[in-house]
Amino acid sequence: MLLHQQGHEMAWHCTKRMTKITGLVDHVLADIKTYLKGRSCPPGTGKSSLAFVIASELQLDIYTLSLNSSGLDEEQLVALFHAIPKHCIVLLEDVNCSGISREHSDSAANAEMKDKTSGGLTLSSLLNALDGPATPEGYILIVTINYREKLDKALIRPGWVDMEVPFSYADKDMIRDLFSCLYLAMEFTSQVPGGKFTAAEIQGYLLRHMGSPEDAVKGAKKWARNLLSEKQAG
């Protein structure tokens, strides 16, 4: 779900329903552990991708929202959160870019001025929309940030954030796993003709080679040929 504007109104727009990912979900979720290093989370390290993997695995719709959306104010934000269903994922992307930063000034006037986001929202209005008395329950909120140390403490206080997952640049193990995953998958696909086998048949073959994906690729062409022959003969 993406946010779009209808005249002066903000509304959710369904772009595509999440479909069940088969095969590599466990591998992807395991790879996430390699990210758990470093304090900041640079762009492109997989923060938003993780949200989509979770949504697909749990078969939940995902609603994406940027606090910098044109015309988005407190009233619109509250209305958007009231419109979401009970069971879904709400993804707030790159909250750092919205201008909500950690405040260092004790001046009430300065705090009020700095409390404003670049999109016109205030920190208090955001917190009220996310965790106010009228906020619906039952949805999962995922917030992505690039620099945790720049975020206001109120947004990451205990009880409001249940889990933090740091992401960092890919290390050697992650680079190797990405290469193996992507290129072995492409090679395997080139060995097995499309439209000939069920997902269960392919899964059964892959399960026999769980410990050695390289062997699965090497034997894929022979396996496909033999199974096709059996089907034609039967």
| 158-168 residue pLDDT tens | 777 888 888 77
Average pLDDT, the chain: 73
| 42-78 residue pLDDT tens | 556 667 778 888 888 888 898 888 887 777 888 888 8
Beta strands across the sheet bearing 140-143? 62-65, 89-92, 140-143
Higher-confidence residue: 61 or 95? 61
Does residue 112 lie in a domain region? yes
| pLDDT the model gives residue 116 | 47
Does residue 79 lie in a domain region? yes
| pLDDT the model gives residue 72 | 80
Average the pLDDT over 213-217 and give the result. Answer: 89
Give Cα 188 to chain centroid, integer Å: 27
| pLDDT the model gives residue 105 | 35
Q: Which helix (H) or strand (E) holds 64?
A: strand 62-65
| pLDDT the model gives residue 71 | 76
- Choose one of 98, 123, 156: the last residue of a domain: 156
Does residue 74 lie in a domain region? yes
Domain range for 44: 2-156
47 φ/ψ angles, rounded to the nearest 5 degrees: -65, -50
Predicted TM-score of the model (pTM): 0.55
Q: In the predicted model, is pLDDT for residue 184 greater than 60?
A: yes
Does residue 164 lie in a domain region? no
| pLDDT the model gives residue 168 | 76
In terms of domains, do 139 and 193 share one?
no
In terms of domains, do 21 and 128 share one?
yes
| 26-47 residue pLDDT tens | 554 554 444 333 334 555 666 7
In terms of domains, do 65 and 18 share one?
yes
Cβ-based burial of 10 (10 A; exposed 0-12, middle 13-18, buried ≥19): buried
Q: In the predicted model, is pLDDT for residue 113 greater than 50?
A: no
Q: How many structural domains compose the chain?
A: 2
DSSP per residue, 161-180:
B----------HHHHHHHHH
- What is the band of 6 on the pLDDT scale with cuts at 50, 70, 90? low
Does residue 167 lie in a domain region? no
Residue with tokens 């959160």: 81
In terms of domains, do 221 and 183 share one?
yes
In terms of domains, do 179 and 150 share one?
no
In terms of domains, do 111 and 9 share one?
yes
- What is the band of 103 on the pLDDT scale with cuts at 50, 70, 90? very low
In terms of domains, do 132 and 229 share one?
no
- What is the band of 17 on the pLDDT scale with cuts at 50, 70, 90? low
Percentage of the chain lying above the pLDDT 70 cut: 69
Does residue 52 lie in a domain region? yes
In terms of domains, do 20 and 109 share one?
yes
Does residue 88 lie in a domain region? yes
- The single-letter code of the amino acid at 157 is R
| pLDDT the model gives residue 3 | 53
In terms of domains, do 128 and 187 share one?
no
Q: For the domain that residue 138 is a member of, what is the CATH number?
A: 3.40.50.300
Does residue 165 lie in a domain region? no
Listed in sequence order, the residues at least 6 apart from 131 whose beta carbon sits closer than 8 Å to its beta carbon are 160
In terms of domains, do 55 and 120 share one?
yes
In terms of domains, do 186 and 118 share one?
no
Q: In the predicted model, is pLDDT for residue 146 greater than 70?
A: yes
